Amino acid sequence: MAANGADVLRARDEATCRIREILDRVGDKWSLTVISELGQESRRFTELKNAVPGISQRVLTATLRGLERDGLVRRTVHPVVPPRVDYELTPLGRTLLDTAWTLMTWALEHMDEIDEARTSYDHAN
Amino acid sequence: MAANGADVLRARDEATCRIREILDRVGDKWSLTVISELGQESRRFTELKNAVPGISQRVLTATLRGLERDGLVRRTVHPVVPPRVDYELTPLGRTLLDTAWTLMTWALEHMDEIDEARTSYDHAN
DNA sequence: CGGAATCCTTCTCGATACTG
DNA sequence: CAGTATCGAGAAGGATTCCG
């Protein structure tokens, strides 16, 4: 890992927009969840739909298309009947997996603190 | 009796849901950028607005309120004229800083690969 | 200066129906 | 099975105005 926080900040002026553009993909409502789901093994469309409760078919399709476009996910269509489509992480997608895990782990570890803060904040107003 | 499959799935779904709830905060359009901006030192409202190009006043306010509610940011109002409001990371917010940098670093390092993937994808269709 | 309130436009998303 | 097409409700977001 070459860049550190200071590098990120130094490059900020040129790249803030670019970073944000990419965080939009990665940080959107479902992408990290889908990526972490694909981290284990390749999945079929319906398997993903069931594995990610609450996501609609429409949005799952859009999410997967976006991830595929960004080279994070590979979509493989098997010419069989009934159709079978497998999704798996690309090597690039797999490099994101570690970071995704870090973020999700953070969320898990600090969930309670955040809950307390929210309760406290809401109670104060 | 050990937990059955349904229990496991239910627990996992709830965890997924909670994680997503928190990722919504952290992974939204601006939060990580604001947090990384506050990583260096406390900032005034207008300083933040200038430091985060493209954010509107309305959305910056909402973002800061959300971060404050979750205990990630502390808001300090100085009773002076003209008003002065400082924002700084809480200790909890600071624990997120490392992860935020990791994610932004990932974005920086893989920006070019993503650009290529997008170009390739768009050209294929 | 740091907002809150309002208006108004855009985008998102879920539900539904249909298809190769 | 794995989508696409379409529609409508609601949320999100920008611009503007006003205020202590």
Local confidence band at B11 (pLDDT 50, 70, 90 cut-offs): low
Distance B58 CA to C8 C1' (A): 15
Q: Does B28 contact A at CB distance below 8 Å? A: yes
Q: What percent of chain B has pLDDT over 90?
A: 55
Give the residue with minimal CA–C1' separation from C4: B58
Q: Which of residues 85-124 of B touch strand D (CB under 7 A)?
A: none
pLDDT, tens digit, 9 for 90 and up, residues A51-101 = 988 899 999 999 999 999 999 999 999 999 999 999 999 999 999 988 888
Q: What part of A 37-56 touches B (C-beta under 8 Å)?
A: 52-54
Element of type H or E holding A120? helix A91-124
* CATH no., domain A29-124: 1.10.10.10
Distance B49 CA to D17 C1' (A): 19
- Give, rounded to a whole angstrom, the gap between the first and last alpha carbons of chain B: 54
Residue A31 has pLDDT above 80, yes or no: yes
- Average pLDDT in the A25-35 region? 84
The stretches of chain B forming alpha helices (DSSP H) are 5-26, 31-38, 45-51, 57-69, 91-124
Residue type, B59: V
pLDDT, tens digit, 9 for 90 and up, residues B42-53 = 999 999 999 988
Q: What is the mean pLDDT of chain B?
A: 86
Bridge partners for B75 per DSSP: B87
The CA R_g of chain A, rounded to the nearest whole Å, is 18
- Report d(CA B49, CA B71) in Å as an integer: 21
pLDDT, tens digit, 9 for 90 and up, residues B88-109 = 999 999 999 988 888 888 888 9
The DSSP annotation for A57-108 comes to HHHHHHHHHHHHHTTSEEEEEE--SS-EEEEEE-HHHHHHHHHHHHHHHHHH
Q: Alpha carbon of A48 to those of A31, A33, A42, B6: distances in Å?
A: 12, 10, 9, 17
Res B5: pLDDT: 44
pLDDT, tens digit, 9 for 90 and up, residues A40-59 = 899 999 999 999 888 999 99
Q: Are B111 and A18 in contact (CB under 8 A)?
A: yes
For chain A, what are the domain ranges? 29-124
- Average pLDDT in the A112-122 region? 93
Residue A1 has pLDDT above 50, yes or no: no
In angstroms, the separation between the Cα of residue A47 and the nearest Cα of chain B is: 14
Distance A26 CA to D17 C1' (A): 36
Give the residue with minimal CA–C1' separation from D5: A58
B16, B69, B101 member nearest A8 (Cβ): B101
- Report d(CA A4, CA A48) in Å as an integer: 34
- Report d(CA B22, CA A104) in Å as an integer: 9
Cα within 13 Å of Cα(A81), Cβ side? 0
Tokens 């069931």: give the residue: A50
Q: Alpha carbon of B48 to those of A18, A52, A62, B38, B66: distances in Å?
A: 19, 35, 33, 8, 15
Nucleotide lying nearest to B84, CA to C1' measure = C1
Q: What percent of chain A has pLDDT over 90?
A: 55
Which nucleotides of chain C does any protein CB come within 7 A of? 1-6, 13-17, 20
Q: Are B45 and B37 in contact (CB under 8 A)?
A: no
